[in-house]
Amino acid sequence: MTDKYVVAIDQGTTSTRCIVFDRRGQLVSLAQQEHKQHFPRPGWVEHDAMEIWRNVERLAPRVLSRAGISLDQVAAVGIANQRETTVIWDRLTGIPVSRAIIWQDTRTDSLVHALASRPGASNISEISGLPLATYFSGPRLRWMLDNTPGLRERAERGEVICGTMETWLIWNLTGRAQHVTDVTNASRTMLLDVRSLDWSPRALDFFGIPRAMLPAVRPSIGGFGTASQGFPGVRIGAALGDQQAALFGQTCFTPGEAKCTYGTGSFLLLNTGTELVRPENGLLSTVAYQIAGAPAAYALEGSIAITGSLVQWFRDQLELISSAPEIETLARTVADNGGCYIVPAFSGLYAPYWRSEARGVIVGLTSYITKGHLARAVLEATAWQTREVVDAMNANSGLALTTLKVDGGMTADNLLMQMIADVLDVPLVRPLAVETVSLGAAYAAGLAVGYWPDLDGLRSNWHIAGQWMPAMDPAVRSAEYANWRRAVERTFDWIQPA
C-alpha cells in the first residue's frame, strides 16, 4: 500500500508555497517561490497575478519530487491565500486586465472617505461585519471599475470577471472551469451578507459592483472541482483565507479558542462558534470556516497591518541587518529600548484604531540611541500591537485570554515571543507546526475528501512545541504600555484630506 498525502498551496503576500503533509499533519516537503512586489506610487502595492499562477505551476512538480511521491498519492489539494487582494481578468483570454491590488494598498482612501458619508454606509458595516476601510476588496473593485475605461461595461456583460487569489488559482487549476470563492474570502469583500453567506444586493448596489463579475460563493470545506492544471486529477477540497486557515490549522474548533499568526502582518482570531458576535473596539467579525452541509463558524478578528514587514523594512530599506532573523541578534546587543518607540503605521493603523490617515513614527530619539535600540523597538512594536488587540478582544468577548496560541515565521524569534508573553502577562504556546496556514488548508482539504475522519482526529495531532512564560515587572509593563500609547497618538492625523 502506498501512503497518501495532502498538498497545501499557501499563496501569501511575499511568496507562494506548496507543502506536502502526512497523516500526522507533519511537513514532508516544501517548495517556495517569491514574487515581485510592485510599488508604483506611495501607498500602492500590486502583484502580477499571472506571475503567481506560473509560480504555482512551477512549484507543483517540485514539491512532489522533493517528497518523492507521485500525483496519485495526493489525496487532495487545499488553498490558503492572502486575503482581500483583488484581481480582474478577461474571461476568454484568462489575462488579468491589470495587476492585482493587494491588501496593503491604500489607494482607495479618498473613495472610502467619500463612500463613508453616503447614506447607507453604516448598514453596509452591519451587513458585512466590517468597518468601511481601504483594507477590504469591495472598494478596490469599485476603484478598478472607475479607473479603467470601458471596464464597467465589460463587467456588466460578463466579459471580465474578478476574484481574490483563491478564486484566481482555482479558476486556473480547473482549466478555467470553476469561478468560485469560499465564504471566508468572500467575507472580506464588504459585499457578502455575513449572515446569509451570499452576496448582498444592497452592498453590491452601494459599491456599484455588477453581480455578473463575481464568483459563486461556496463553503470553505467541500468541493471546488478537480484540478486539470498544476495537480491534474487531484480534487481541490478546500479554500480559506490564510488567517482562517491558521485558525483551522491550530485546531481552534471550539468557541473561545484563539490564535495569533505572526507574518507580514499579524492576525488574532477568536472562534465565536455559530454565533456572529457584534464587533466592537475596532475588531472585525468574519467567517472562520464552513464545512459543506453545516452552519458556518464565525470569528472575531484583530488585524495588525505591519509586524514582520517592519522587520523586512529594517532589513531592505534601512539595511541594518542582512537577514530577518538577525534582528534578534541585533536587539540582544542592548538591554532595553533606550526610550525609543517605533509605531509602524505605514498604511494607517488597523485594529483597534482603523485610522487610514495615520503614518509611522519613530519617537524618543536621542544621541544615546543605537541600531540595537531600534531593533528592539521594531520587535516591541509587534508585542505592543498584540497587547492592544488582546485588550480589545477581551473587552468585546467578555472573556479574559489565559494563553495565546502563536504560529507563523516570527515565532522563531525567541526574544519577540518572550516580549509578547511579558506584555500580555499570559503564557504563549507554539504548536508542533509553525506552518499553520498551510496546515489548516491541508486539514480542511483532507477533511473534505475523508483523508482525516473528523475534527477530533485533527485535534489529536496538536502538540505543544514551545512555551514562553511571562516574566516582566508589572510596574515596568504599565509604564512601557503608557509610553507606547503616547507614541501611537503621535501617528494620528498625519495625512490631510486632499
Partner 1 sequence: MPGTVQAIERAAAILRTLAGGPGRLGLTEIARTLDLAKGTTHGILRTLQLVGFVEQDRVSGHYQLGGALLHLGTSYLDINELRSRSINWADPLAARSGEAVRIGTVLEGRVLVVHHVFRPDDTFQTLDVGALLPLHATALGKVLLAYRAGGPVPDLEPFTRLTLTDPRALATALEGVRDAGWASEIEEFLLGQAAVAAPIRGYGGLVVGAIGISGPVERICDSRYRPRAPLVAYVRDAARAISRDLGATR
Q: Which residues are annotated as a binding site for glycerol?
A: 83-84, 135, 242-243
**Cell numbers representing residue 343 in the block:** 509605531
Question: Is the distance from CB of 163 to CB of 179 less than 8 angstroms?
Answer: yes
Within residues 446-465, the interface with partner 1 by CB under 8 A covers 463-465
Nearer to partner 1, 46 or 413 (CB): 413
Question: What gap in Å lies between CA 198 and CA 5, rounded to an integer?
Answer: 33
Q: How far is the CB of 419 from partner 1 (least distance, A)?
A: 14
Which of 201, 325, 450, 453 binds partner 1 (CB under 8 A)? It is 325
Distance in angstroms (rounded) separating the CA atoms of residues 26 and 78: 15
Residues within window 355-384 making contact with partner 1, judged by CB under 8 A: none
Nearer to partner 1, 338 or 409 (CB): 409
Nearer to partner 1, 159 or 326 (CB): 326
Name the DSSP class of 407. Answer: E
Give yes or no for a contact between 43 and 105, defined as CB atoms under 8 angstroms apart.
yes
Per 3-state DSSP, what percentage of the chain is helix, strand, and coil (rounded to 5)? 35, 25, 40
CB 425 within 8 A of CB 387: no
> Of these, 329, 333, 403, 478, which contacts partner 1 (CB under 8 A)?
329
Nearest to 140 by CA among 172, 175, 173, 165: 165
**Identified binder of partner 1 from the candidate list 225, 409, 457, 470, rule CB under 8 A:** 409
Residue 490 CB, nearest approach to partner 1 (Å): 31
Question: Which one of 18, 74, 433, 458 is in contact with partner 1 (CB under 8 A)?
Answer: 433
Number of Cβ within 10 Å of residue 316's Cβ equals: 11
Count CA atoms within 13 Å of residue 403 on its CB side. Answer: 14
Dihedral (Cα; 87, 260, 42, 164), 10-degree rounding: 0
420 forms part of the interface with partner 1 (CB under 8 A): no
- Scan residues 13-52 and list those touching partner 1 (CB under 8 A): 24-28, 30
Residues of the binding site for ADP: 13, 17, 264, 308, 409
Stretch that binds partner 1, among 44-52, 176-184, 333-341, 433-441 (CB under 8 A): 433-441
Cβ-based neighbours of 462, under 8 Å, separated by 6 or more: 250, 251, 431, 432
The kind and range of the H/E element at 481 are: helix 474-489
Q: Which of 93, 117, 317, 323 binds partner 1 (CB under 8 A)?
A: 323
Least distance between partner 1 and beta carbon 252 (Å) = 16
Is residue 204 within the footprint of partner 1 (CB under 8 A)? no
Feature table: binding site for sn-glycerol 3-phosphate? 13, 83-84, 135, 242
CB of 322 to partner 1, least distance (A): 8
- Provide the binding-site residues for partner 1, judged by CB under 8 A: 24-28, 30, 322-329, 409, 411-414, 432-435, 463-468
